[in-house]
Structure formats: structure tokens, C-alpha cells
């Protein structure tokens, strides 16, 4: 069959629509995160966040919470995903959806995983567009393997993971306190100093 300009234009449009579809969850996740964080649902006469998403949006609670958590994770740890250039520079097939990113979010908190493990999973998702089900299998395999390593190495890996979680929490705290002005300046300053010390410690180990 002869390739025509019309068919090529259609092909390009379909690819763009598919890309937009994969990324469409971001705006919903961002909105739900704002509603959850600021308890806006209360001003709309809903007692709970889940009441709002179920009764007004028709979303199931697990899905809504997954979108909130995944968006927060992306905003804090993988902000490159939210940039316009990210989608523009990648083929449609390798744009990760929220389910794959949710697996990566969960991998971040697994104490058995090393930084190298996480980096590999991230590469599979961000650069290869690996499906969530396959990444989930890889994660399960890695966890089983890591449970067999030397106890001393396991303790060290857990320690490093705890530090990374603390750094992420401090970043989030500092950002929220500065934006919402919910804490005194000296508290924010102390948090920033602690964050710098922890990040410096992490750099020294690399």
C-alpha cells in the first residue's frame, strides 16, 4: 500500500493522542493531591477525602489515593516527568503511565533495594517504557535476591534507604512549610541545615 501524506499525518496524530492519553493522569493527580493536602473537600461539605472522590467524581478510593501518592512521588522525586520537554523528547511507546510510576514509587520505599537496583528499575521505566506488570515482577525478583545477601550488607542497605526516606520527607516538609507558611522561619532553617548535612553525608559515600 502506498504511503501518502494524509496517512502519515493520521499516524502522527494518533501517536500524539496516545502520548496525551498516557500523560492525562497528571492533571487529575495534581488536582486530587491539592484537594487531599489542603483538605479542600471539607469546604465542599464532605467529611472525608474518599467521600468526595466517590460521590462527586465517581472514582474508587484506592485509585484516587494511588493517583495522589504517585503524583506526589513524581513531583518530589521525578520532576523531570512533569516537564513538557520530557514528553516531547520521547517516543510514544516509552512514555511511562501512572501504574509503572506507582511501582517505582513503591520500590523507593523497599528497604531491600539498593540504589543500583532502583536506578535499573527507573531506567527500564523511563527509557524503555517497560510495562508495570513486568517491572513489578522484576521488583519481586530483586527483593527475593536481596533477602539472601549478607546480614551486614542488608543492614547497611536498610540504613541508606532510611536516610533517603528522611531526606525526601525533609524536602517535602521544607517545601510545604515555605509555601504554606505553617512553621516559624527558624524551624524551616533548622530543617534546611539538617537536609544539607544528610545530603552531604550521602555525597561522601558515593
Nearest CA-CA partner of 205 in 117, 73, 122, 114? 114
Q: How confident is the model over 177-199, as pLDDT tens digits?
A: 667 666 677 777 777 777 777 77
Looking at every residue in the chain, the average pLDDT score rounds to 84
CA distances from 10 to 3, 4, 24, 54, 91 (A): 11, 10, 21, 37, 16
Name which residue leads in pLDDT, 203 or 155.
Answer: 155
What average pLDDT does the segment 158-184 reach?
Answer: 72
- pLDDT category, 202, cuts 50, 70, 90? low
Domain boundaries, the chain: 1-93
Nearest CA-CA partner of 177 in 195, 151, 159, 154? 195
Nearest CA-CA partner of 100 in 127, 75, 65, 76? 127
Are the C-beta atoms of residues 65 and 28 closer than 8 Å to each other? no
Cα 55 to Cα 39: distance, rounded to the nearest angstrom: 16
Are the C-beta atoms of residues 98 and 82 closer than 8 Å to each other? no
pTM: 0.65
C-alpha cell at 16: 500524539
Q: How confident is the model over 106-142, as pLDDT tens digits?
A: 998 888 788 899 999 999 999 888 999 999 999 999 8
Amino acid at each position: 500500500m502506498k504511503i501518502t501524506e494524509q496517512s502519515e499525518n493520521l499516524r502522527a496524530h494518533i501517536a500524539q493522542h496516545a502520548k496525551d492519553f498516557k500523560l492525562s493522569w497528571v492533571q487529575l493527580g495534581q488536582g486530587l493531591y491539592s484537594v487531599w493536602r489542603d483538605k479542600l473537600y471539607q469546604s465542599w461539605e464532605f467529611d472525608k477525602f474518599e467521600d468526595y472522590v466517590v460521590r462527586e467524581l465517581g472514582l474508587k478510593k484506592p485509585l484516587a489515593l494511588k493517583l495522589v501518592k504517585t503524583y506526589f512521588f513524581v513531583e518530589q522525586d521525578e520532576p523531570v516527568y512533569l516537564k513538557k520537554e520530557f514528553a516531547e523528547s520521547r517516543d510514544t511507546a516509552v512514555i511511562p503511565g501512572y501504574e509503572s510510576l506507582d511501582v517505582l514509587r513503591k520500590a523507593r520505599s523497599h528497604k531491600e533495594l539498593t540504589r543500583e537496583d532502583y536506578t535499573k528499575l527507573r531506567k527500564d521505566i523511563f527509557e524503555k517504557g517497560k510495562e508495570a506488570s513486568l517491572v513489578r515482577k522484576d521488583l519481586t525478583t530483586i527483593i527475593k535476591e536481596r533477602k539472601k545477601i549478607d546480614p551486614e550488607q542488608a543492614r547497611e542497605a536498610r540504613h541508606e534507604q532510611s536516610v533517603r526516606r528522611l531526606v525526601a520527607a525533609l524536602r517535602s516538609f521544607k517545601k510545604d512549610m515555605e509555601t504554606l507558611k505553617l512553621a516559624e522561619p527558624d524551624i524551616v532553617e533548622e530543617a534546611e541545615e539538617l537536609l544539607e548535612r544528610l545530603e552531604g553525608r550521602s555525597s561522601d559515600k558515593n
